[in-house]
Every structure is written in C-alpha cells, then in structure tokens.
Structure 1
C-alpha cells in the first residue's frame, strides 16, 4: 500500500465518526430575532483579561499591542437564511489604511481565532500591512458570553455539560451554506480590502488552503477569482486535500464518503446540517473552549471532574491532551507542545496498525490515568516544541473570535468533495464553477508542517496542473495545527518575505 493510500485509510478510520447524524438538542434558542442579532459595525477589542501565559514569551508585549477589531459586513444573500446571518465576518489586525492586506481562511472546524498569533506576528513585522482573519458565517451561531468571564465554577460547569445547542430543525437554511456561499462571503471581504489597497492576498490553513486555490479558480459571473488578488498563501493545505475519489451525482444527492468519513447527501442536509458526532459537535466545542479558558486562568488547578477527560488531571493537561500529537484522537487535529506527567500510558493500537500512514501516528498513546493515584496527571511544556500550550489556551477564545467553528456546515464538506480541484467536464460544472485552475498564473506560497498533512512535493504536484509560480517551505517539527500558532515567527517571516516583492 502506498504512503498516500495509507494516510487516506488512517484519516478515514480515525475520522469516520465526524459525521454521525445530528440529533435534536433541548434548550437551544429558537427566536431568530433575538438569537441572531448581529452588530454590523466594527467591534473593537473589549476589555478582557485572558489569563496567564508563558511569562518567558518575549514577543507577548509586542503581539498584544497589535490593534484588532471584528467587522461584520453584508455577505451573499442566501434564500431562507435570516438576513442577519447573510454576513461576511473578519477579525482585522493592524492598520485601518494598510498598504497590503492578507485575508486568511481557517481550516476544517476552525475559526478566525486560529490565526490570532500568526496575524499579530505578521503585523509586528510589517506595521503598514493588515491581516484579516475570516470567520465563516456559521460562527455567528455561537454565543461566547459564558466563556469570557473569570468565574472558575461557571467555566467548570460548561466544561462538564456544554452550552445549549441549536437543533438541526432550527437551522434548515444551513443546507445551502456550501462552497458558493463560503467563497462569495469571502469575496465580499476581498473586494472591501481592494478598496483600501490593490495589494490584496488570500490564503488559509488546511481546508483554508484548499479554499484559497478554489477561490482563485472560481468563476464569479465571468470573473475568475484570481483577478481579485496578488497571490495565494497555503498553510499545510491545498486544493484536493482530503477530497477523495470523484463523486457521482447519486452520491452527491444521497450520500457520499471521503477521507473525513461518510457525508450526508444533498437530500439529507436538512436533517444533518452540521457536524455532530462523538468526537466533535457544537456541545463538545463549547466544552473544549471552557476547558481552554480554565487552562489559561488556572493551569495547575484540578480540571473539573466529569469534564473532557476521565482521569484526574490539572486544567492544562485536560486541555492539551485533546490536541497534543502524542495523545490526540484525530491525527490531523494536533499540536506539538509537550507531554503529560504522572501519566500511565498505553499504545494506541489502531494507529500502530497503520504505522507510517501518518507522521508520528505509530507513536500515539492513550492515557489510562495517573501513575500515582494521589496526584493528578500534570503537564510538562517542552520549550523546544513549536507551540507554547499556555499561549495557545490564552488565545483559544476572546471577545473577537475563537479557535473553532462550532456549527460546521456539512454542505461545505460535501461541495469540496464534489469540486475537488476543477469541475470542468464533471456533473458539478454549473453548480460549482471551479473553472479556471489550469489558467491560474498567480504566485503561490506553500508552507508544509513537517509532521502535518502536506509536503512540498504535493505543492509541486498541484502547481504542475496550473501556470502558478510556486515557492515552498517546511516548518520543522511542526504538527498540523502548529503552523498558525507557533511561538517563533518563522512562518510569519516566510509570508512577509514572499509578499513584500509582490506589493506595488
């Protein structure tokens, strides 16, 4: 079995549970006038004590000084969607009158908060630039109010039980929040940026890298998306990533499968509008955000019993064992920050069976519990690792954004599986007009994570199908998520050095 096939098999086996059919939830808001009230003006950063961070971080003061604001603007109108949710949302770092703007799209299950550190790093290097991090419109369905306080008891309650979830029946319009909606919302922000400067670039992490390439190849009423921008930045992601084999029209309508697992077909999206499974759901996302907040405020305090983990641990360990590459359930949702202490570990036999299918997968471990039952499982930060866990926890949720996308639309995953890299000559040519990939002549920067999901060779394979000029880099020791949150500014410098000669 080839390496690529082994990797696809591992992703399928570990992520199949991501698309368990959604179930109705009690306690969700149903009054759309109240539930979806959106402030369409700029929202500046609110007074917010994020909690402790690694005090040894020499960049903290300069990064925190970068101005940031949240902007909600009109997006593409989608029939049936409440008007307040037809929105294009960005978190804007840096100058309000920039000489260049980089718009970054988050990955699968990701939110604008996933770029908070990287955006601040780029603007620190280039104060005359701006970075606009995208929140897809489904992030407007989230309510972070209960997560932003300092009351540990309240946060512990959310970590145990989660926040009320909007039922699938209350969100029938999400069935239309697919590729076209996502790209047109993004284009609204791109065109606004172009009114400020001609030097507009787009990019993204993971699936956001996929969407970057598809945006450039998309036909917006006779205008290729590539005309809007100077270049593309792809961070451990590219068109075709995790798309699987081409879909038939029956699969697209009834049910499909790709490396992320089974996908509900178009006819089933009203019943299953968003990802809701045993490993990720809106309820789990709110619990994870609460645990991250606890890890920021009280990293060494005991984690809530009955929370995210089944064994006694401190808050930082409870948060980081969900994503640390050594312990994480899903190998494409991982960081490299450190390791658990006082932990009794066992091999993850499922990952070991597949061995080299994914970098580091054969070393994945389960934490059974504490070695010394009198003490909780702790956490040892590795100062040589790419990411600082306390800084990661501190930035996970703020008044401006959060790291994840609680209500991820299944329609978007389905459309990505159908579009792949080009729809010319496919059954989806008219409904998903990804037509201009072969003519793409923009500069492309592809940055791989050494222990992530792409390689420089894959970027070269992609570029060979286009006319794009390609530059590639690889971040050493980095897992897939490290690439946007790494404590060093190497990624930011690569982006800055690549963009600067392209600005005019």
Structure 2
C-alpha cells in the first residue's frame, strides 16, 4: 500500500520525506513497521518526535511543523504514525476521482490489529527514537492519546530522551478497573469490550465511533484533498450546492461540529443557519446550515485560530493524512488499563523539565489537569494553557503560539 513512487515524489517536492521505520516483529511481515513524515534539517541540533492522538495521522502536525522549521532551521521534526497506517489503501489519492474510489473502500485483513497493543506501541516508538537519535538528541511530544503514550514511554525509557512535551492530553485520571479490563464494561457510547473478547475474536479489532468509521475517515481525507486542489469548485450538497471548501470545512468547524474533540476553528459558512437537533440532544448549541443566502454555500475565513485553506492543504497527501483509519482497539484498551498489562509501568521522575500545553477549549483547559506531580513526581515542569484554542487548534493554529512555546522550551534545554 505504501511506498508509491508518485507519493514519494510529492513528499520530496515539499522538502519532506515519508520514511518506513523498523517495528516490533509480530509475525505479519510488511506490517511490522511504523512510519514518520520527516521535516529534515541539515546538521540538526535536535529532533522533535511527535506522536498523534486517537485516530490521528502524521499530518496532524504538518502546520505546527512548518511553524517550527520556519522559526528554527536547526530543528528536525518527525511526525510519527503508528503501524496501522500501513493498512490504508492510499491508491485512491492517485486516481482522477478519489471520492469515488473511497466510496467503495474494501476492508483489509484486520487480524494483525489484535496483537497491536501497548507493548508493541511502546517498542515501535522506541525504535523510532533510536533512529532519530542517530540525527540529534530527541525530544518526544504527544498530542491527546499520543500524550498518554508519550507519558508511558517516558516511564519505560525516559533516559533515552532529552525532553518531553505533552499537548492537551495525558493519562486518564483513573485507569480501567481489572474487571473492566478483563470482562468489559458499558459506556454512554455502548459496550466497551474486554481484552478477552478482543483476543478471542468476539470484539471488533478496530476502534470506531459514530460517523467516524474507517470509510468515513478515508472519505473525509479524499474530500479535503480535492477541496485543497479546487476550493471554489461548486458541487451538489444535499438539497443545496456548495463550494468544495465549504462542503469539507462545515464538517470539522467548531461552529457546526457535533464532535467537539475533532473540531477546529476555521471560519463560517455563508448560508442561513439553524440549531442542530442532534446538537441539542447532546446539550450543545450547534449550528447547522439550512440553506444559502443566494444559491451556493460558500466559506468565509473569519480570522479564527486556524487558517481554513492551510488546514485543507495539510489534511491529506497521497502517502499519509490527518487520520488513522484502522486504530487498534487493543491499544486504546491497554492504554486505559495500563496497570493490568504486566509491563511494569509506574510513575517516575525525569532528569529534564517537562513542557505541558493545554487548550483552553480542549481536553486540558487548566494546568491542574495534567497532574504532573503525580505522573512525574519530583520533575520540573512548565505548564501553560493556550486560551481560545480547541483540542485540534493547538496543532493547527495560525499564529504559531504552540510553536513558540515549544521552541522556548527547547532553547531552555540548550538544544537550539
């Protein structure tokens, strides 16, 4: 699926390189590798290795990486992504009509995902850190669930790092109980299967949410990919017509999104609006597009946190994208129940300061939410909340506030 010649040419043209990395052997051959979208520097002074969150792919960090590299040419940025991205069929991005291609997306063999739990996803980044250390000292950064993985990695191998950055995420306040881990539990979204059910084949190996199935994620990337190329092209949209950029951005903008965790602040549609009934059922005042003022729904950049066209440009590329279509449920389960995995993961002090950045409208809207005194006892920390940003804005915001905070931290470590 990977290693497409045209995709590689595309990445090289953007002065980036998409690298397959060695992975922990699990008996699945080519699937035993992870990947990194590398923003290379000549003679780098430091490597920032970034881990995406739940359902996240390497281009989560594209806009942040551009800010970082522009301000600090001596910094090399590695946007790492998990081995499940190797299951994605990216051939559609080389077709004339990516949307038609992904409208009929076949499901690959998902058997390997049953083995891809926390141990594999701590060993894989360890191999990535080893590769990055051949370039320069490594600082690990994680966003959302990626911050949980970065925390657990630092507990296991913190001495191999030169710094740690947590971006609007961390370990759960209360891990899963042993009963929930081994026998399952119920959640507002439905049953949460157990490890036994997963390993016996009774549970889906892929984590899914309503409207965020693998096919939904693939189509969203295809839609953004086409919209970035032809933003003002007018296409049918339900009972209306809309520009491609409006069609794509309405689904992710914080003003319209039913899923606040996955929203960004990218502007407003030029159309009549009303209250979304689904939003009201969730207890949220979400707007929905009722129809255009005129005959085409268009998009306006209202100078909010994230630049809409830059966001679309970064969202999907032929070799990688913003999402992970086949997120291993076992990884989510074992991260939430890490004390029961037998990996001996316990809090520890680190020999360098930590940077923790929260988002004012995200998962960690106050400094106390990181609980660093408990997670990394006796470790110095810089903790800030970037007000006004959503959970994803912290990665995509146009002003470079996140990048400036990270660069100040790296300079304080003497790495730049």
- TM-score under structure 1 normalisation? 0.75
Q: Which residues in structure 2 correspond to 1:443-458 (within 5 Å)?
A: 443-458=353-368
Structure 2 CA distance for aligned equivalents of residues 469 and 310 of structure 1: 56
Structure 2 CA distance for aligned equivalents of residues 296 and 165 of structure 1: 26
Structure 2 CA distance for aligned equivalents of residues 206 and 127 of structure 1: 26
1:186 paired to 2:186: no
TM-superposed deviation, 1:84: 0.7
1:280 paired to 2:212: yes
TM-superposed deviation, 1:320: 1.0
Quote the residue 1:363 is aligned against: 285
Q: Which one of the candidate residues 129, 148, 171 is aligned to 1:210?
A: 148
Structure 1 CA distance for aligned equivalents of residues 412 and 84 of structure 2: 35
Q: Which one of the candidate residues 416, 440, 445 is aligned to 2:335?
A: 416
TM-superposed deviation, 1:163: 2.4
Structure 2 CA distance for aligned equivalents of residues 232 and 260 of structure 1: 32
CA, structure 1 residues 65+502, in 2 after alignment: closer, same or farther (shift >3 Å)? farther
Q: Which one of the candidate residues 234, 248, 257 is aligned to 1:328?
A: 257
Contact 1:43 1:71 in 2 (8 A): no
Q: Which one of the candidate residues 312, 322, 327 is aligned to 1:393?
A: 312
CA, structure 1 residues 348+443, in 2 after alignment: closer, same or farther (shift >3 Å)? farther
Contact 1:341 1:379 in 2 (8 A): yes
TM-superposed deviation, 1:304: 4.9
1:174 paired to 2:113: yes
1:100 paired to 2:46: yes
CA, structure 1 residues 378+204, in 2 after alignment: closer, same or farther (shift >3 Å)? same
Unaligned runs of 5+ in 2: none
CA deviation map 1:240-277 (0-9, x unaligned): 2xx6x443334223323568764222233234011244
Structure 2 CA distance for aligned equivalents of residues 402 and 44 of structure 1: 12
Structure 1 CA distance for aligned equivalents of residues 188 and 142 of structure 2: 20
Quote the residue 2:395 is aligned against: 484
Structure 1 CA distance for aligned equivalents of residues 383 and 59 of structure 2: 25
Quote the residue 1:467 is aligned against: 378
- TM-score under structure 2 normalisation? 0.90
Q: Is the partner of 1:446 in helix, strand or coil?
A: strand
Q: Is the partner of 2:49 in helix, strand or coil?
A: strand
Structure 2 CA distance for aligned equivalents of residues 446 and 115 of structure 1: 17
Q: Which residues in structure 2 correspond to 1:249-398 (within 5 Å)?
A: 249-257=178-186, 262-269=191-198, 270=201, 271-305=203-237, 311-348=240-277, 350-351=279-280, 354=283, 362-367=284-289, 369-372=290-293, 375-383=295-303, 385-398=304-317
Unaligned runs of 5+ in 1: 1-35, 49-63, 219-224, 355-361
TM-superposed deviation, 1:132: 0.6
Q: Which one of the candidate residues 28, 32, 45 is aligned to 1:86?
A: 32
Contact 1:174 1:411 in 2 (8 A): yes
Q: Indicate the RMSD between aligned Cα atoms, in angstroms.
A: 2.7
CA, structure 1 residues 73+264, in 2 after alignment: closer, same or farther (shift >3 Å)? same
Q: Is the partner of 2:317 in helix, strand or coil?
A: coil
Quote the residue 1:157 is aligned against: 100
CA deviation map 1:255-314 (0-9, x unaligned): 235687642222332340112443111111111111102221222223455xxx675432
CA, structure 1 residues 239+337, in 2 after alignment: closer, same or farther (shift >3 Å)? same
CA deviation map 1:97-137 (0-9, x unaligned): 42111100001100001111111221221112211111100
CA, structure 1 residues 408+96, in 2 after alignment: closer, same or farther (shift >3 Å)? farther
